[in-house]
Each structure stands twice: as C-alpha cells, then as structure tokens.
Amino acid sequence: MNRRILHIDMDAFFASVEQVLDPSLRGKPLIIGGEKTDLRGVVSTASYEARKFGVHSAMPLATAKRLCPHGIFMRGNHARYRKASLKVRAILESVSPIVEPASIDEAYVDVSGSQRLFGGDDAIAAHIKKRIREETSLPCTIAISPNKLVSKIATDQVKPDGYICIAEGEEAAYLRPLPLSKLPGAGPRTREVLGRYGVQTIGDLAALPIGTLENVFGPSAHGLQRRARGESSSPVETDSTPKSISRETTFEQDLGDWDKLERVLVYLAERTAYTLREHGMETKCVTLKVRYTGFDTKTFAHTLDESTSVDSEIIGVLHQLLPKARARRDKVRLIGVALTSLSRNQHQLRLFGGQQSEKWEKVLESVDKVRGRHGFETIRTAKSVPRSSMRSERTHDERDNGAP
Ligand code: TTP
Ligand code: MG
C-alpha cells in the first residue's frame, strides 16, 4: 500500500496565537519571549513581519531589540498555546486515528487510509486547513509525501500558509536541489566534512559513491545516503502504538527438559505474534529471555533483515537462539519472548519475499479470524503446549508516551 504521510507545522505559532487573541497585533512585528525591558532571555518566536528584520527563534532578546527596535515584545503564555495545540490535534484526529504530535505546533498524520473518504491528498489538506481556520483562526503549513522525512523537509520549504504534495517516486527529485543543511542529521560537522568532497546539495550527497561515503562515515553512510534520497520507513507513532510486545512464563518447578521448554516457547511466540497482528504491527527484533535457577536472567536477541508478523518466522529466530540459551547447564525458572523494533505492517497488502510468506500471511489471517471468534486455544500448531500446563503467564504490551 502507498503510504501517505502528512506533516503539519503551525506558522509563527506563539505569535499567531497572540495575534488571534488581540487583533491589533496583526500585521505587526511581534516578538514573543520577553518584555522590552527584559535584558536576559531569548526569542521564542517572531511573527513573519519581525522576521523581515532578521529576528528569529533562540536569538537573544537584546539582539532582537537592536534589529527591530519598533517591534512589539511580549512574554509568552504557554497555557494559551497548549489549548490551541490541543484543538488542532483534535481536528487531525478526525481525519485519521494515526496522529503523532512531534512538538507543541507540529504533528505527523498517516493519511494513507483517509484517501478515499476525503478524495485524495489535496482534499485532505484543504479540509484540515479550513477547519483549523474556522475553529482557531490560525495559519498552518502542510506537506504530504510517502514518508515523515520528506514531508518534514517540505513544510519548511513552503512556509507560511503553504501546502505541497510530493508523489510516490518523486522524493529524491524533490530533495535534489535543496541545500544539505535542510536534511535532518546533516549537522555543521557532517556538512563541513562533506564540503571537502564538493557536496553542497542533498542531491550531491545522494549521488556520492557509497564507497567514498563509507570511508568517511563508516556504516552510518548507508542511512545518511538513504535519507538524502528521501527514503525513510519510520512509522507515525501514536500514544497507543506499542513499543514492544512480550510474554513470559514462570514454571512451578525449574525445568531442565529443553523439548518441553521449546514447546512452551513456541506457544509464547504464537501468542506474541497474534497480539502483534492484532495491533496491525510487525517486528524486526526477536528476543528470547531465560531466567535460570538462582534468578540469573539472560536475553538473546536477533534482528531480522525484514520485519515480519508471521509465526513461523518468529519461531525460526527463536530456534536459532535456543542453542545459546541451552549452552548453560542450569535448569530454567522462566522463559519468555519479546518482540521489539515494531512498525506498522507494510506487508499486509503487498507482495514480498516470494510466494511462501504471502501464503503464510493468508493462512495466519484466517487462523486469527477463528481465534478471534473462539479464543486462542482453538488452533495451535503441533509443537506448542496449552496454557493449562503452565503456572503463570505474564504479558506486557508496553507503551511509551514520551516524545518521538
Ligand atoms: P517552530 O515551529 O519552530 O516555529 P514557529 O511556529 O514559531 O514558526 P514557523 O512558521 O517557522 O514554524 O516552533 C513552534 C513554537 O515553539 C514557536 O512558536 C515558539 C516555540 N519555540 C521556542 O520557544 N523556542 C525555539 O527556539 C523554537 C524554535 C520554538
Ligand atoms: Mg511552527
């Protein structure tokens, strides 16, 4: 499925909120951060009228006063800005449930599933802008592209009160002429080094031979060049997006029978994979957790080349990890499975990795349907043991409510 990711950033946010509350401030150079008499302190934001004089965020107020002596200086009122921010968020959530607030005036929205309802990107952006205008009178800028990276760069290019849509496949061409400073992750140090190779634009970086780049940046060269080509798969993460899904079992008596342990593990893997699919997610990192007699706990992790939500692939990884856990002679008190590096399931509607996985996903989909109706115990693969033979099962569905 084509991903369509919207990025929205409010224009001169704090200043715009103040201008709405006091219309006499509109069209004037307004600087938020402190009164004119405040000697210390920095500019939080400046209206676009004040920016014409060179005033910008994080600039010392003293400098701003020198550049724009006739400007209107105000201390900020965060409660007001938070209120406006929440109103905008509610509007975004009415367009798609997948909303990731990135700062007080900025958010990502996965609008892939909203295309048909609204009639495409342009209609979605127009709808959001109209509702924000009607309900808050605030100006904003919107970009829609296949990923967060490109959309984030693009909003900055079309500010203020802008809108841009970048079609699938156009990402690299769009970024090509932009200066390297526009690429997140290409800081002053990186740019200085790349400057020695004649790299000035994002396109220059995209075109640099990967060998050259690797000599300078080591393994991180690949990620850097992928970003320069506008490639990014990071999902839009909502507050309810799980960061990891895990299940573990503690045994009544410490177990030394690895055939039995393996069967328990398969069962736990099936449970975690089921939860994973319920969330519409897939995993890239599978961890086996073992607590031995005496409470010593070890984890063994493996990162996959491609994300998956398929039972057999997750179980396959666990089978690879098992010999490491077995190497220790001690009996086992607890065994568990954790799935991390989660992302939204991109494969569900797309062919990948040949026919077999495709077929498996189909099978699992119908299995999940039956399980959903009759409970998990209805269908199990031959190698797993039922829940009744275990003492306790703990589940985790961890959520991280922190900033992205
Ligand atoms: P930004 O979106 O970076 O800036 P902006 O909305 O004022 O202007 P633009 O039109 O370029 O998006 O930040 C949002 C708000 O966060 C901003 O209004 C004030 C606050 N802020 C600070 O307090 N200090 C800072 O250094 C920055 C960058 C922002
Ligand atoms: Mg902003």
For residue range 320-341, list pLDDT tens digits in order.
Answer: 999 999 999 899 999 999 999 9
Same domain (yes/no): 156, 202: no
Q: How many domains does the chain have?
A: 4
Q: Which of 31, 48, 57 to mutate to test the pocket of ligand 1 (most atoms within 8 A of CB)?
A: 57
Ligand 1 in reach of 14 Cβ (< 6 A): yes
Ranges 178-182, 186-190, 201-205, 237-241: which has the least confidence:
237-241
Bridge partners for 248 per DSSP? 336, 394
With a 6 Å cutoff on the Cβ, whether 9 touches ligand 1 is: yes
Amino acid at the residue 93: E
Residues listed for the chain: 404
Q: Over range 32-42, report the average pLDDT.
A: 89
Find the 181 Cα to ligand 1 centroid distance in Å. Answer: 18
Q: Residue 211: which residues within 8 A CB-CB, separation 6 or more?
A: none
| 352 closest CA partner among 309, 385, 323 | 309
pLDDT digits (tens, 9 = 90+) for 93-107: 999 989 999 999 999
Residue 314 resides in a domain: yes
| Ligand 1 lined by 58 (C-beta under 6 Å) | yes
Residue 99, both tokens: 């909303």
Residues 153 and 277 placed together within one structural domain of the fold: no
Q: Identify whether 9 is part of a domain.
A: no
Does 34 have pLDDT greater than 70? yes
Domain of residue 214, residue span:
173-228
In a domain, 277, yes or no: yes
45 touches ligand 1 (CB under 6 Å): yes
Ligand nearest to the CA of 82: 1
Based on the domain organization, do 184 and 165 belong to the same domain?
A: no
Three-point CA angle 4, 14, 33, nearest 5°: 135
Q: Is the CB of 159 under 6 A from ligand 1?
A: yes
Q: Please report which helix (H) or strand (E) contains residue 163, including its range.
A: strand 163-165
Ligand 1 atom nearest residue 32's Cα: 19
Active site amino acids: 106
Q: How confident is the model at residue 266 (pLDDT cuts 50, 70, 90)?
A: very high
Mean pLDDT of the chain: 88
- Please indicate whether residue 57, judged by its CB atom, sits closer than 6 Å to ligand 1: yes
Is the distance from CB of 381 to CB of 266 less than 8 angstroms? Answer: yes
Q: Is 7 contained in some domain?
A: no
Confidence of residue 39 (pLDDT cuts 50, 70, 90): confident
In a domain, 235, yes or no: no
Query: What's residue 214's pLDDT?
Result: 94
Ligand 1 nearest atom to the CA of residue 33, by list position: 23
- Does 18 sit in the ligand 1 pocket, CB within 6 Å? no
Residue 131: which H helix or E strand, with range? helix 121-136
For 284-313, write each residue's pLDDT tens digit.
999 999 999 988 999 999 999 888 999 999
pLDDT tens digits for range 352-396: 334 445 555 666 676 676 666 666 665 566 666 655 555 555 555
Task: Say which ligand is closest to the CA of 30.
Answer: 1
60 touches ligand 1 (CB under 6 Å): no
Q: Please tell me the distance between residue 353's alpha carbon and the centre of ligand 1 in angstroms.
A: 44
Q: Smallest Cα–Cα separation from 166: which of 143, 184, 141?
A: 143
Cα 103 to middle of ligand 2, angstroms: 9
Whether residue 187 is found in the same domain as residue 160: no
Centroid of ligand 1 to alpha carbon of 12 (angstroms): 6
Within a domain: residue 240?
no
Least confident interval from 39-43, 51-55, 155-159: 39-43
The protein residue with its alpha carbon nearest to ligand 1, atom 20, reads: 44
Q: Which ligand is nearest to the Cα of residue 48, counting in written order?
A: 1
Which pLDDT tens digit goes with each residue over 103-130?
Answer: 999 999 999 999 999 999 999 999 999 9
Given this model, what pLDDT does residue 59 score? Answer: 95
Number of the ligand closest to the Cα of 44? 1
Q: What is the pLDDT of residue 375?
A: 63
pLDDT of 372: 66
pLDDT confidence tier of residue 240, bands split at 50, 70 and 90: confident
Q: Are 145 and 163 in contact (CB under 8 A)?
A: no
pLDDT at residue 24 above 60?
A: yes
Say what the pLDDT of residue 150 is. Answer: 98
- Examine the pLDDT at 267 and tell me if it is beyond 90: yes
Range list of H helices, 176-248: 188-195, 202-207, 210-217, 220-228
Q: Which residues surround ligand 2, an ion (CB under 5 A)?
A: 9-10, 13, 105
pLDDT for position 286: 97
Same domain, 267 and 385: yes
Ligand 1 midpoint to CA 57 (Å) = 7
Domain boundary (78, 100, 116) is at 78
**What CATH number did the domain enclosing 278 receive?**
3.30.1490.100
